Amino acid sequence: MLLLNRVAIITGGAKGIGKGIALKFAEEGCDIVIADVSLKESYETLNDIRKRGRDGIVIECDITDINKIYSMVNQVISKFKKIDILVNNAGILGTTVSSSLKSVATLPEEEWDKVVSINLKGAFLCSKEVVPYMKQKRYGKIINMSSIGAIHPPAVSPHYTAAKAGVLGLTYDMACELGPYNIWVNAIMPGTVRTTIFDPILQKKTEQEIDSFFEERGKMVPLQRVGVPEDIAGVALFLASELSSYVTGLAIPVAGGRPLQPTIF
C-alpha cells in the first residue's frame, strides 16, 4: 500500500473529485478527514471509506473562515496526532446559475470575492494552519487543486480563472519555502471532469441534455472524453506517495491532452 497509516485532510472531500481522491487514498491505506460543508454526502463518503477498512472523520468546515479551519485542524491532531497529507480541493465555479460564466464587465464584486475566497484563499488558510504541524514532523505532502483554465482560460469566467491561476502561484511559492522542511507542494490542473461542480449551469437540463453537454466537451479533448474523478485521484495518489519523492513545485495538467485540441485536416 502506497499510503499505509498516513493521515490526509481533503477539503471538499464529500463528492466529486474530492470523493474520488478520498476513496483512492483509503484503498492505499490512508485514514481520511473530510472537511466539507455538505454533511449528508460527507457521511456517505465516510461510510465508503470504512468499507475499505480505513478510519476517517467528517468535520463541517467553511474553508474561508480561519477560526473554523483552526478548530478542524485541532480536531484532526487530537484524533490522529499528525497530518501527513493536505489536499486543497474545495472549489466552486460560481454561486448561482447566472454567475458561473460572466464577462469581467458584468461580474459583480461580491461574486468575485466569493469565488476567489473559496478557490484561492481557502487553500492559503488551510495550508497556513496545517504547515506548522508538518514542519514539526518534518514531513508533509500538499496537493493544491488548480484547473486547466489557469493556463487555458474559457474567457468568460475571470473570477474562477484568476483564482485557479493564483493557486499555481501559491503552489510554486510554498514549494520553494517548504522544501527544506521535507514538505512537498504540487498542483493538479484538471480539465473538464464530470462532477456536481457543473450543477449550477446544468440544473434545469434533462439527463439526455446533460449527457450531450459532456459528450460535446469530450470532442474538444485529444482523448475524446471528459474526465472522471478517478482520473484525478490517480495523479493525486502519485503526488501523495513516495513515488513522487523528488517532485515538488509541479503543476500537472490532467485533462486528456488539453490544452491541445483535435484538428480536422
- Residue 189 and residue 224 in contact, taking contact as beta carbons nearer than 8 Å: no
Active site residue 43: no
Number of neighbouring beta carbons within 10 Å of residue 97:
13
Asked whether the beta carbons of 245 and 225 are under 8 A apart, the reply is: no
Maximum CA pair distance of the chain?
Answer: 61
DSSP 26-46: HHTT-EEEEEES-HHHHHHHH
Element (H, E) at 145: strand 140-145
Phi, psi angle pair for 39, to nearest 5° = -70, -40
- 178 within 8 A of 131, measured Cβ to Cβ: yes
Name the nearest CA neighbour of 141 among 174, 190, 93. Answer: 174
**Which residues does 62 contact at the CB level (< 8 Å), separation at least 6?**
37, 68
> Residue 118 carries which DSSP code?
I
CB 102 within 8 A of CB 201: no
Q: How many CB atoms lie within 10 A of CB 56?
A: 26
Q: Which of 133, 139, 160, 246 is catalytic?
A: 160
> 218, 202, 197: which is closest to 16 by C-alpha?
197
* Active site members: 160
